[in-house]
Amino acid sequence: MPFSHHSHSGQFCPGHAKNSLEEVIQTAIKQGMQVFCLTEHMPPFFAEALRLREKYASQIKLLIGFEIDWIRPESLTLIETSLSRFPFELLVGSVHHVHTIPIDYDAAMYGQAREAAGGTDERLFEDYYDSQLDMLQKLKPPVVGHFDLVRLKSDDPNATFTKYPRVWEKIRRNLQFVASYGGMLELNSAALRKGMSEPYPKAEICKEFLSMGGRFCLSDDSHGIDQVGFGYREVLDFIDRTGITAIHYLELTQDGDAPDTRFPSTKVCSLSVEEVKNKASFWL
């Protein structure tokens, strides 16, 4: 315990992450992870993931999925091709680009995206959430990746979104759509290791989603062994402050009770936050 629904390795994300996929899995086992989802950007990792799942089956539950990059509407064709080629068990739906420009790589590229959107953070935020809605409607991902990633390189990453009424309305619109199909927002600790005061998404977004009956899962978004489980103690404190009372997670099922026909071998389970806390060995 607990879980992570979003991870990468240097073996299949060279230049973006480090360590082999097996080393990442071994670290998750040492930390006492119960469920660890393998979500590389590269579908060809599937065979190696299957091999490692069998090798470590007695020690950890590994689910095999992938994180998508929604760059433009045409991205849908590439994603659907990957889904048709391999029997993936989950999909992390993410947006890392606006107007085809990366918004989380560095300040310079963020600035280019901001100029393309109209020159302000507010306009870029609006375009980001419009692109995110397009991705959500086309794919209905079981896990929504770093919902408010767009704030990372902004002028004030810790600022409230509510100061921009049009942006906040788009956020609420997207949250309502995720809630309507039963998707989960990941509580992503990567924001903490990148210097922000709260994980993705911010507390104000979590509270809004909670009011809609939304569900949350845990993710470390690790890009190497030193990031597996990073910041989870702080995320647990954040969960308490935010009022979240249940954590959801994915598991494989053989009994056909999976609600998502695209991923028939996967089901959503839940634990109360108190049950998660009681898994004391992980939190020490």
Q: What is the dihedral of CA 196, 200, 202, 205, to 10 degrees?
A: 170
Residue 277: per-residue pLDDT:
82
Q: Where are the domains of the chain?
A: 3-283
pLDDT class of 115 with cuts at 50, 70, 90: very high
Residue 276: per-residue pLDDT:
85
Q: What is the pLDDT of residues 215-227, one digit of tens each?
A: 999 999 999 999 9
Angle, nearest 10°, between helix axes 203-211 and 232-242? Answer: 50
pLDDT class of 282 with cuts at 50, 70, 90: low
Residue 72: per-residue pLDDT:
86
Angle, nearest 10°, between helix axes 75-85 and 121-139? Answer: 40
Nearest-angstrom CA–CA distance, 241 and 239 = 6
Residue 74: per-residue pLDDT:
86
Q: Which of 162-166, 257-261, 271-275 has the lowest mean pLDDT?
A: 257-261
Q: Give the predicted TM-score (pTM) of the model.
A: 0.94
Is residue 284 over pLDDT 50? no
CATH number listed for the domain at residues 3-283: 3.20.20.140
90: closest CA among 132, 26, 145, 129?
145
203's CB contacts (< 8 A; 6+ apart) are: 238, 241, 242
How many CB atoms lie under 10 A from the CB of residue 74? 7
* Interval 204-214 mean pLDDT: 98
Structure tokens belonging to residue 183: 């998707």
Nearest-angstrom CA–CA distance, 248 and 269 = 6
178: closest CA among 228, 227, 144?
144
Nearest-angstrom CA–CA distance, 135 and 124 = 17
Helix (H, G, I), strand (E, B) or coil at 238: helix
* Interval 210-236 mean pLDDT: 94
